[in-house]
Amino acid sequence: MRVHKIVSFSVVIFLITVAFAGAVIIPAAAQSDTMMFRYNVQRTGDYSPVGGSVSSNGQLKWSFTTGTWVDSSPVVANGVVYVQSGGLGAGDNNTYALNASTGAKVWNYTTGVYMGSSPAVANGIVYVGSGDNNVYALNANTGAKLWNYTTGSWIDSSPAVVNGIVFIGSTDNNFYALNATSGAKLWNFTAAYAFESSPAVASGVVYVGCDDNNVYALNASTGAKLWNYTTGFAVESAVAVANGTVYVGSYDGNVYALNATTGAFVWSYNTENTEGSSPAVVNGVVYVGSLDNNVYALNANTGATLWSYPTGSVVWSSPAVANGVVYVGSYDRNVYALNANTGAELWNYTTGDDVYSSPAVANGVVYVGGGNGNQGILYAIGNESVSTPAGAPAVSAQSANTLDLFFRGSDNALWWKHWNGATWTTAASLGGILTSDPSAVSQGSGQIAVFVRGNDSAIWEKTSTDGGSAWSGWHSLGGQIPAGTSPAVCSWGSGRLDVFVQGTDGQLWHKWYTGTSWSGWQSLGGKLTSSTAAAAASGSSRIDVFVRGTDGAIWQRTTTNKGSSWSGWMSRGGQIPVNTVPAACSWTSGRVDLFANGTDGQLWWKYTTNGGSSWTGWQALGRPLGASLTSSPAAAAPASGAMDVFARGGDNGLWERTYSSSSWSGWTSIAL
């Protein structure tokens, strides 16, 4: 568990870089999305205009893993999620732009220092504060830096952007107004201590808290002080303004309501502990978390308690409200959905660790930051419209009696289902824009690697090292493979990966990962007429690769020394349709099981038990629903003496046959 501390620290400015991910693009989307922390410039936390209806079971839609904690709160604009990574004290220190539907990375921008400020997006520009003392303006589509303004110390305040002006505080004791186009300073207001609060703007007035215990009201045009109200301790909560009243929390343990025009005290509510959570104000109710472990609903006019909900730990997270539901995180590792009228729990989602980040809600999805150990994770929780399989599946087995099933959806994203030995999970999107069917393998317990062709014709990889709880971003392996072809992959030892593709010359090419680095590409020759190959590892250092030859039969090459040398091409017979690919798996040393589509639309199978010295004849495994298969097969061996083979049936759904105790089951439909 982490402890959030109120501290000052020195920072060093590092070289700034921008990185792009070629496998994804920014989608076209509606303009009515979240634009800044707490949704609007009044910071009311009311996401109802864009939130939609979030599913009632709190199901994970996707997650994106960063280098360390995501304490920043995400912002959703134009179909893209913008969030900063880097919890207090350490971080990968990036601003990320992610596809809101899939979680695929669009771009990232690196500053090298802690980033706790949440972004604001306006007119195609992302504005962020950083621990390197700077305010940055980034192109929302590319992440390219447009300008930066350097303050005298680190920035934890989240910017508000109104009428071409960026308002933001700094721990150099100044509050700034900057020209949104150029970054030029328009004015600054100086106090005795740091500004870590995030400002609200209403009716030409900027409201902001300060570590000098005050809430300030400043003229938005000039920075002149209109009034201040002194609380009992530092004010780092964001200010919310609604119906002529300012609502704010103080570290003195109180939530305050102040007259927005005069600063006069209206009411206060004591939570008996520090107030770092920022209040949301919706339909006459104030919702706020507290370090006494509770979430409170208070009458906005009187401060009277309407309800409270106890979580299992402190609540730094600021509630988001959308269409009658309150969403908030807790240090008990959960994100909660509560009935806004009664406080009754509707659902909760358990993350990997403490939740400091505040949720954003858009289009039926709750976005919130968190972490798992030393990693940061952005979670997308909510509605999942499962895409129809658009091609052949891929399957791997990360541990005994488990399976991980992948397919390219009709949305061209990568989709994933997990079998835990008893049940399948619902299909979840892993993002990306695929131009091929996937290939998957496990290179060790809990490890999964998936390979696809991206929209740049290169091979791209996505991995998990914890059984699928968290996934990496997309990593390019380069190469150029023809349209309509897919990679193949196998693993003969812990950490080892061997990838095979058809080159633009029609030959088979090989690239491998040793556990620490990737090789270059190696040609294995041949003339492929299938869309790619199938590969299986039937022993330490041994790989068998299968392709469709120019005669329509299946051909094989083998290595027994990690690829240092290969056999010649050997025919395994059969006749398989054009543009289909065989599948292969192995469940013990020397055993290889080979599967292929027949010209009759059935699945066919043959195997060797002696390393290929002899093979059985071909045996028909039939077809589901009596209709021809509509994809190539995929196969995996989750245990000794067990196999599972998958293919798309005549209904375009996924179907499975299982081999156990020396016999095959019938075809079973896999619900998505």
- Looking at residue 383, its pLDDT comes to 65
Whether 591 and 550 map to the same domain: the answer is yes
| Domain assignment present for 6 | no
**Does 611 map to a domain?**
yes
Q: What pLDDT, on the 0 to 100 scale, is given for residue 5? A: 35
310 and 259 belong to one structural domain: yes
Residues 231 and 289 in one domain: yes
The answer on 470 and 552 residing in a single domain is yes
Closest to 657 (Cα-Cα) out of 616, 604, 609: 604
Half-sphere exposure (Cβ direction) of 184: Cα atoms closer than 13 Å = 4
CA 474/CA 584 separation, integer angstroms: 26
Of 382, 405, 420, the one marking the end of a domain is 382
**312: exposed, middle or buried (C-beta count within 10 Å: 0-12, 13-18, 19+)?**
exposed
Residue 14 has what pLDDT? 27
Residue at 107 is within a domain: yes
Q: According to the model, what pLDDT value does residue 382 have?
A: 83
Answer yes or no: is 389 within a domain.
Answer: no
pLDDT of residue 531: 61
Residue 487 structural domain: 394-670
Q: Which residues of the chain register pLDDT less than 50?
A: 1-34, 88-89
Decide if 68 is inside a domain.
yes
Q: Judge whether 473 lies within some domain.
A: yes
Are residues 296 and 433 both part of a single domain?
Answer: no
Where a domain ends, among 382, 416, 449?
A: 382
| Residues 413 and 371 reside in one and the same domain | no
How many whole angstroms separate alpha carbon 230 and alpha carbon 224?
18
Domain tally, the chain: 2
Whether 371 and 434 share a structural domain: no
Q: For residue range 467-513, what is the model confidence (pLDDT) as tens digits?
A: 988 788 778 888 888 888 889 999 999 999 999 998 888 888 999 99
CA 33 from centre of chain? 18
Q: Which of these three, 354, 382, 410, is where a domain ends?
A: 382
Beta strands in 156-313 (DSSP E): 160-162, 165-169, 174-179, 185-190, 200-202, 205-209, 214-219, 225-230, 240-242, 245-249, 254-259, 265-270, 280-282, 285-289, 294-299, 305-310
Q: Is the pTM of this model over 0.85?
A: no
Do both 447 and 371 map to the same domain?
Answer: no
Contact 105, 84 (CB under 8 A): no
Strand partners, 659: 643, 664
> Residue 387: inside a domain, yes or no?
no
Give, rounded to a whole angstrom, the gap between the first and last alpha carbons of the chain.
35
Residues 378 and 398 in one domain: no
Residue 187's domain is classified under what CATH number?
2.130.10.10
Whether residues 289 and 404 share a domain: the answer is no
Rounded to 5 degrees, φ, ψ at 163 are: 50, 45
Which tokens hold the place of 29? 């989307």
Pair 61, 98 in one domain: yes
> What's the CATH number where 616 sits?
2.120.10.70
Considering the domain architecture, whether residues 278 and 399 belong to the same structural domain is answered as: no
The answer to whether 306 touches 342, Cβ cutoff 8 Å, is no
DSSP 400: T
Is residue 125 assigned to a domain?
yes
